[in-house]
Amino acid sequence: MLSTEDPEFNVMVTFSVAEHTAIVEHAAELDVPVEAYIHQAATRRARDGQTNCELLEQAAAGAASGAPAAVSLLDDL
């Protein structure tokens, strides 16, 4: 398993024709190489997931302490 400190991490993915087309078209609209677009999208998704987990933990901690928790940001989970 690779750690977060490894300088390079390669992943092979398979996209459907529709997914590939959407990725290529959107990357072209943004004038970004497809590889960079996929890298940025995966990184953003991972960071969003971490943020969502942190928000859920904070909401749970607030509920356990009796403090009101704002969870409306988590409706999409």
User: Domain residues of the chain, as ranges?
Assistant: 17-74
In contact, 26 and 37? CB cutoff 8 Å: yes
Q: Phi, psi (5° rounding) for residue 27?
A: -60, -40
pLDDT in tens, 15-67: 999 999 999 999 999 999 999 999 999 888 888 888 878 888 888 877 666 65
Q: What is the pTM of this model?
A: 0.58
Distance of CA 50 to the CA centre of its chain: 8
**pLDDT greater at residue 69 or residue 20:** 20
Sequence letter at residue 42: A
Identify which has the larger pLDDT, 6 or 1: 6
What is the rounded CA–CA span in Å between residue 28 and residue 68?
45
